[in-house]
Amino acid sequence: MADTQAFMVENAIKARCSSRVPFDSERFVPDRDLQRILEAARWAPTPHNMQNFEIIVVDDPAILEKIAAVRSSPSETFLRENYQQLCFSEDELLRRRTGLLASMFPLSWRTSDASPGDSKEMQHSFLGFALQDSPMLLIALHDTRKRAPASEGDLLGVMSLGCLLQNMWLMAGALGVSVQVLSALSEGNTEPMLHQILDIPGYMRIAFACRLGYPRAAPGKYLRVRREVPEFTHYNRYTRQGS
């Protein structure tokens, strides 16, 4: 029994993936499935059970349209640091076993000296490019008034937001609902606009947002890589890899 449960959990973890394709704007996530995703969020572990999050479900087309119209040019910091994680061939990605294929990003983001002003694809400068016709957004808010005891920088509280995301993502996957996490909604130049549109109080920060839905067409497969267990595991003491 335990082996069967472990196998199911392992498969769910390995099957979890980001859906980077347009969603069918006319196909909505059933409320029963949404409630199960939110129930999974409810049971996310948080330090001292402080439950330092709130979730806004956005499925009103008028509000989604307002969000899509928000200008959101990527920052120079994002473009520079994103470029450092890119691999320009599958062979390079297989060799490094970390990062993403450059082909998954707009052409104007794939140069070492890219800057927000260089983008020729103006549609990439609006949140609508990130939303891709999603019929639903979940926006997770971090309640900054709550902090784990003796946790400088509230590292434990931030970790719990990751647990929140993982719980929702795994449940959505089990229900056949596609998910993509969107970091653009929490960037410095867009978050204030989202606060206005959604009436978010100042002490709440957008931790992350994720779009939920069903792809218009079968998503293309992309290469997914991970380091092997021996490459990141250390027993009894830290040993430098390759030293």
CB 102 within 8 A of CB 86: yes
Residue ranges of the domains in the chain?
30-72+131-216, 73-125
30-72+131-216 under CATH 3.40.109.10, yes or no: yes
Q: What is the pLDDT of residues 87-110, one digit of tens each?
A: 999 999 999 999 999 998 888 888
Write a three-state SS string for the chain.
CHHHHHHHHHHHHHHCCCCCCCECCCCCCCHHHHHHHHHHHHCCCCHHHCCCEEEEEECCHHHHHHHHCCECCCCHHHHHHHHHCEECCHHHHHHHCCCEEHHHCCHHHCCCCCCHHHCCCHHHHEHHHHHCCCCEEEEEEEECCCCCCCCHHHHHHHHHHHHHHHHHHHHHHHCCCEEEEECHHHCCCCHHHHHHHHCCCCCEEEEEEEEEECECCCCCCCCCCCCCHHHHCCCCCCCCCCC
pLDDT surpassing 60 at residue 242: no
Average pLDDT of span 153-173: 95
Determine how β-strand 100-101 pairs with β-strand 86-87. parallel
Read off the pLDDT of residues 168-215 as tens digits, 9 standing for 90 and up.
Answer: 999 999 999 999 999 888 887 899 999 999 999 999 999 999 999 999
Render pLDDT for 49-73 as a digit per residue (tens, 0 to 9). Answer: 999 999 999 999 999 999 999 988 7
What pTM does this model have? 0.89
pLDDT at 233: 94
Specify whether the CB–CB gap between 135 and 25 falls below 8 A. Answer: yes
- For residue 150, pLDDT over 80 is answered with yes
